[in-house]
């Protein structure tokens, strides 16, 4: 694939020391932005660095940064959201991260086979960001994730690793492919692709740091997902030059649906009392009418209803605690005192 891609590159006419630089390679020549490979010199790079960026170049750089940000933020948040459903084991994270990166590489390779004009580039970016918005909406929202993984369990998908594979194939692969294609097309349209790559990597760094260190610890995971959906919708609207009212209304409805599926009302209905960068804490009602504490969907209070002695231990503890005593009792709590209701 790499050999085929290189074979499509135009063969550069390297200047010799005895003759001047051809006009095609002059920094001020407009065709410069359309060439794929140039034998840069220190003088030409210095001249380029001093030239002010045109509005089109600024637009491309901003979108390159935003695409890099989305690549990292979507993967980080998806790994966090799936802790409650597939755990934190290394094999699960390897499957998810590997499938996302492979899809990213496939999108980059696909972008290398086409060279669209401005109108075609906007059309491709518009389609890609629409797919990205839908994938983020369904793949990161609390309500849809609960429905998906409960359905997988009901149809017999018990293996945690198999659940992660199904999730990766349905959501992470389309998401990674569209992000990779959009990022590669933006790099090819950049005046200096190397600078564009640096901007994309800076955006990726921010995409890792902002959710983990700022939004999830301060605002919570659900609000982080809302902000990511709104950010993607803004990019989609910015890349769409001649958008109809119906298309814009569709984007607004998708964002509002994402807000509703990640609202505090949904958290209350699911019994979630805390959701940060590490854990999702929920309080549920057991079949016996008691309370149970769940941390990342796993019982944290040691209550196991399938054990024969669980009910007996609970009954003895309740009888001991509820029986009136003539004097105050000293009770030793083994474990986390927060588990006592």
Pairing, β 280-285 against β 272-275: antiparallel
- Quote the pTM value: 0.72
pLDDT confidence of residue 108:
93
Distance of CA 178 to the CA centre of its chain: 12
| DSSP code per residue over 58-87 | HHHHHHHHHHHHHHHHHHHHHHHHTHHHH-
Task: Please report the pLDDT score of residue 55 as a whole number.
Answer: 62
Question: Residue 202 has what pLDDT?
Answer: 95
The residue written with tokens 């010799």 in the block is 16
Query: For residue 164, which phi and psi values (nearest 5 degrees)?
Result: -65, -40
The CA angle 222-204-3, to the nearest 5 degrees, is: 130
Report how far apart, in Å, the C-alpha atoms of 303 and of each of 88, 295, 306, 308 are.
Answer: 22, 13, 9, 11
In the numeric block, the tokens 């079949």 are attached to: 287
Looking up tokens 């086409």, which residue turns up? 114
Compute CA distances 93 → 82, 87, 156, 161, 205, whole Å: 10, 9, 22, 9, 19
Average pLDDT for the chain: 80
Confidence label for 2 from pLDDT (cuts 50, 70 and 90) = very low
Q: Are the C-beta atoms of residues 146 and 31 closer than 8 Å to each other?
A: no
Average pLDDT in the 43-55 region? Answer: 46
Residue 28 has pLDDT above 50, yes or no: no
Phi, psi of 112 (to 5 degrees): -70, -10
Coil vs helix vs strand at 272: strand
Whether the predicted pLDDT of 273 surpasses 90: no
Instruction: Please tell me the predicted confidence (pLDDT) of residue 144.
Output: 93
For residue 32, pLDDT beyond 50: no
Q: What is the pLDDT of residues 105-149, one digit of tens each?
A: 999 999 888 776 777 888 889 999 999 999 999 999 989 999 999
The sign of the torsion formed by the CA atoms of 268, 270, 271, 276 equals negative
Q: CA 183 → CA 8, 96, 125, 273, distances in Å?
A: 20, 20, 9, 38
Q: What is the token pair recorded at 197?
A: 């790559």
Q: How far apart are CA 129 and CA 143, in angstroms?
A: 22
DSSP, collapsed to helix, strand or coil, labels residue 308 as helix
Residues 153-177: what's their mean pLDDT?
A: 93
Tokens of 144: 């849809």
pLDDT tens digits, one per residue of 286-330: 776 777 788 888 777 655 555 555 556 667 777 777 777 777 777
CB count, 10 Å around CB of 203?
23
pLDDT digits 0-9 by tens, 219-256: 999 999 999 999 999 999 988 877 788 889 999 999 99
Supply the pLDDT for residue 214. Answer: 93
**Burial degree of 103 (CB within 10 A; 0-12, 13-18, 19+):** buried
Helix (H, G, I), strand (E, B) or coil at 248: helix
Q: Is the pLDDT of residue 49 over 60?
A: no
Q: State the number of CA atoms in the 13 A half-sphere of 322 facing the CB.
A: 6
Q: Residue 281: its pLDDT value, please?
A: 87
Find the range with the poorest average confidence among 160-164, 189-193, 202-206, 212-216.
189-193
User: What is the per-residue pLDDT for 71?
Assistant: 96
């Amino acid at each position: 694939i790499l050999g085929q891609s290189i074979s499509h590159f135009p063969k550069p006419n390297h200047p010799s020391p005895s003759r001047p630089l051809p006009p095609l390679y002059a920094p001020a020549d407009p065709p410069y932005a359309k060439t794929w490979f140039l034998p840069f010199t220190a003088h030409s790079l210095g001249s380029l660095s001093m030239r002010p960026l045109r509005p089109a170049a600024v637009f491309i750089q901003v979108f390159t940064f935003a695409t890099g940000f989305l690549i990292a933020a979507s993967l980080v948040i998806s790994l966090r959201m799936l802790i409650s459903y597939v755990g934190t084991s290394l094999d699960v994270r390897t499957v998810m991260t590997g499938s996302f990166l492979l899809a990213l590489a496939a999108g980059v390779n696909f972008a290398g086979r086409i060279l669209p004009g401005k109108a075609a580039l906007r059309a491709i970016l518009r389609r890609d960001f629409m797919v990205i918005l839908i994938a983020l909406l369904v793949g990161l929202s609390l309500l849809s994730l609960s429905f998906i993984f409960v359905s997988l369990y009901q149809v017999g998908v018990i293996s945690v690793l198999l659940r992660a594979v199904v999730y990766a194939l349905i959501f992470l692969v389309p998401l990674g492919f569209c992000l990779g294609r959009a990022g590669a097309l933006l790099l090819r349209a950049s005046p200096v692709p190397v600078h564009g790559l640096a901007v994309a990597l800076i955006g990726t760094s921010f995409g890792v740091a902002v959710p983990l260190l700022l939004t999830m610890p301060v605002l919570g995971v659900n609000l982080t997902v809302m902000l990511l959906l709104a950010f993607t919708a803004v990019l989609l609207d910015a890349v769409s030059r001649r958008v109809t009212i119906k298309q814009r209304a569709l984007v607004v409805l998708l964002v509002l649906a994402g807000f509703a599926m990640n609202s505090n009302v949904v958290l209350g209905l699911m019994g979630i009392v805390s959701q940060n960068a590490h854990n999702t804490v929920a309080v549920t009602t057991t079949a016996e009418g008691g309370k149970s504490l769940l941390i990342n969907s796993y019982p944290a209070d040691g209550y196991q209803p399938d054990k024969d002695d669980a009910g007996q231990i609970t009954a003895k503890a309740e009888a001991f605690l509820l029986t009136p005593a003539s004097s105050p009792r000293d009770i030793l709590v083994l474990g986390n005192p927060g588990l006592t209701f």
